[in-house]
Amino acid sequence: MNHGTRSNLVVLLLLAIISLPAQALHYRVRHSQHFRRTTRRSRSYRHHRHIVWTPVLHGSHDSLVRQNEEIDRLGLPRIADDQQLEGLEQEHELVAIRESRNLAIHPQLAPQDRYCKSWTREFLQDLAAAHYREFRSPIQVNSAVRTVAQQQRLRRYNHNAAPTSGDTESSHVAGLTVDISRRGMGRSERKWMEKYLLNLKKQGVIETAEERREPVFHIMVAKRYEDWRSAHLEQKDVEAPAQSAEEQENTGPAVQ
């Protein structure tokens, strides 16, 4: 190796040594910037997730207990299976939920499961009529009566579902309860629903909660809803109750 070649190698080596700190600094800066951006996104996502789920209608252990107290107060059976359910429907202990312009039913809800207590249906018709007057669109029932056997199957894939025994058992198994879909509702529509339901909850005629896993309003209707409704009809604070499927499309209480 001649002198000129050695000189060139020395120069290249010196340049490489000089550039190393700059490259390291550049990497640290880029890595730090990326980490900060990733951290900010992660914090923003966690914050976003936190602030999005702030339901007005909170479910609670106490609410589930009150729902079961209503079932016990009325002496209602927890419907064990399809055979018992069919018997109650034939005896008109449960009444059919009918679709109308105001009220839709989820197409996957089986015909034998489209039943509830009479006062629950009255509430449902009133809510549907009031909602239609406001938004010109129907509400949808996703679930109504269930058997204990159905509730047990539901809990296999939805661990948030209420248990099938004890003082927090699902009130669906007594026919008092319906689930109304939140899917497709705009912000103003959800706020209207929350106000309507919260008003009735404060008056002690329903128990309600916005479920998180399933986008529905869970609503148990107490039998005292009948008395509440009659009192409001007498005061002319609500319109005349529906007498038929055709009439119910244009009627229902105007809850403020």
Question: Mind listing the pLDDT tens digit for each residue in 190-228?
Answer: 999 999 999 999 999 999 999 877 899 999 999 999 999
> Does this model's pTM top 0.75?
no
Q: What CATH number did the domain enclosing 206 receive?
A: 3.30.1380
68 and 33 in a single domain? The answer is: no
33 and 111 in a single domain? The answer is: no
CA of 61: how far to CAs of 34, 162, 166, 168, in Å?
A: 44, 10, 12, 7
Task: Provide the domain limits for residue 21.
Answer: 1-52
Question: Is the pLDDT confidence value at 33 over 90?
Answer: no
Domain count, the chain: 2
Output the six-digit token pair for 15. Answer: 């340049």
8 and 47 in a single domain? The answer is: yes
| Average pLDDT score over the chain | 80
The one-letter code for the residue type at 22 is A
Is the distance from CB of 147 to CB of 80 less than 8 angstroms? yes
154 and 209 in a single domain? The answer is: yes
Q: State the Cα–Cα distance between residues 192 and 207, nearest whole angstrom.
A: 17
Domain-embedded: residue 256: no
77 and 44 in a single domain? The answer is: no
22 and 65 in a single domain? The answer is: no
39 and 124 in a single domain? The answer is: no
Condensed to tens digits (0 to 9), the pLDDT of residues 244-255 reads 444 444 445 544
92 and 38 in a single domain? The answer is: no
